[in-house]
Structure 1
């Protein structure tokens, strides 16, 4: 039940209902297309290209910004200016709102928010490992889950820094890995502590599901609708499973409410994606606000994990049946 997991699933469902994305209004405009062609023809060949490459800051070259990318960026703002001058709504380009690039960061607010989520997750993982003895039944499962989550936040940061074919796929695939691993975590906590064979079987099935999911998206078709539907389905199963566990243990576990609050908060925060407004100051959009709002939830989430892990350790020591 990682912070951001429920929000990922809910937002994916919302996006699915909105329909698959295609070419956006901005990059369909003839003025934009002509501008990019003219800029590329003039600036991205011969001596002009060599001049661009020699003047380009190292951090831009290292993150893969090309001359043609720079043409698209400049022409995007030219098109936005024309739209605003005529009183039209700001258009999207290639499925995204126009963002003011900061250094090499394509979406600076979302990249920062993803980084902060990763740092919060790392900080609380370290706190968990210092507060919970390794003998706790869930210790290794939670540690592994946290590493999977950290990997997902890393690729989310990279993707919002530089949107490429590779970074987009890694962002999607790593988010799917978190969602699938969360099912394993849920199974171990609610069933596997009493019946280890069940969690082992679920683990094998989830590995096969993840391998099939990634293989289909990589080698057959990267279907955004299918990817979102799959993540939303797994997320909703996980949501209902955890809420059922919370309700079942509300009288015996005094910290159950932390789990419930995290679930409700993250689903509520995911609704921020519905706002979908042009970025404030060309930096802060609904997606960035959503990611920023999930940062504090990590602290409550790991507080629940610490309480629950210590509870399991104590009940195991005195021979009490695990919930």
Structure 2
């Protein structure tokens, strides 16, 4: 939900630095990468590298050039620490100790666990909520959108490439927009389906224009940041206003209120930007881990609310 907005803000800030951070601007780093690539990434040396590279590394897309950057990153970090300087960032990221083919193992695992939690809750929702519930189609669609987003988040933290970065951004935007649509259906669309349909078309148009501009024109991090902050604020204010309006009449909406407030509070973890503990666990990974129970709580709210609406619609049907 709203917490992904804060993540987008931090990712956008980091990505804006990707063209040059302190570490990768260092002459020692650049010279190291240049010499490593000349020595290992062409001709017979490249064939030798490929022959000894583990199959899982090649399947994950790790190249000789990637290995050179990784090794030279640690050479540079070692020199910084030896001279008593702070740990630098490289290409907008802190140095992480690679585990198997995972570039950021803690964040990748946390993203996977978020996706797993969403899948488990989707199965629970599907089992406990009949398809005749008014909110069933929209909630299930939201769950699948969330699963897709967590999949790409896992892939992005496994191997950061231009494609995985963009898919992570686009899927995060899609989740926020679908959360807004979910809120629209819950607050307006059940009484006025035509309004919900028109609003869905508008959101799809906005998403298409957003993705098309970033993909076909240029990937403008500043614009992407502003756009996602704007839709994130709409998402937060709309859900929170509805929760406050209905908390006495519908006690289960307090779960939704807690989710919105927790995600906003937990997003402050992202501001505690620091070199990763043991070169694995950074603030972003901690944020990912902390959101796992929050997503479970939100799906629990959707389950309770869907069952409430089903009971209400059945009662009206009997009266009619």
| TM-score after normalising by structure 2 | 0.96
Choose from 96, 99, 102 the match for 1:102: 99
CA contact (8 A) 1:272 1:287 kept: yes
User: 1:140: which partner in 2?
Assistant: 137
SS in 1 for 2:2: helix
Check 1:9–1:54 CA distance in 2 against 1; reply closer, same or farther (3 A cut): same
For 1:79 and 1:180, the matched residues in 2 are separated by: 41
Alpha-carbon distance, 1:228 to partner: 1.6
Tell me what 1:176 maps to. 173
Tell me how far 1:149 sits from its aligned partner.
0.5
Q: CA deviation at 1:77?
A: 0.1
1:65 partner SS? coil
Q: Which of 77, 85, 105 is 1:88 aligned to?
A: 85
Give 1:255 shift.
0.9
Q: Which residue does the alignment assign to 1:65?
A: 62
Decide which of 252, 256, 271 is 1:255's aligned counterpart. Answer: 252
Q: 1:155 is matched with which residue: 152, 157, 169? A: 152
Question: How many Å apart are 1:12 and its aligned residue?
Answer: 3.3
Helix, strand or coil at the partner of 1:41 = helix
Q: Which runs of 5+ in 1 are unaligned?
A: none
User: Please, which runs of 5 or more residues in structure 2 have no aligned partner?
Assistant: none
Whether contact under 8 Å (1:100, 1:106) holds in the other structure is: yes
Match of 2:4 among 8, 20, 28: 8
Please give the per-residue CA displacement for 1:133-179, whole angstroms capped at 9, x wherever unaligned: 11000001100110000000000000000011111111111111111
TM-score (norm 1): 0.95
In structure 2, C-alpha distance between the alignment counterparts of 1:76 and 1:175, rounded to whole Å: 29
Match of 1:76 in 2: 73
Number of equivalences: 316
4+ long deviations beyond 3 Å: 11-20
Deviations 1:225-276 (A, max 9, x none): 2112111110111110011101111121011210100000011000000000
Contact 2:270/2:283, CA 8 A, preserved across alignment: yes
Deviates more, 1:222-231 or 1:278-287: 222-231
What is the Cα-based RMSD across aligned positions, in Å?
Answer: 1.4
Cα distance in structure 2, aligned partners of 1:211 and 1:12: 18
- The 5-angstrom pairing of residues 40-51 of structure 1 reads 40-51=37-48
Contact 2:15 2:221 in 1 (8 A): no
Matches of residues 1-323 of structure 1 in structure 2 within 5 Å? 5-13=1-9, 20-21=16-17, 22-319=19-316
- Higher relative contact order structure (alpha carbons within 8 Å, sequence separation ≥ 6): 1
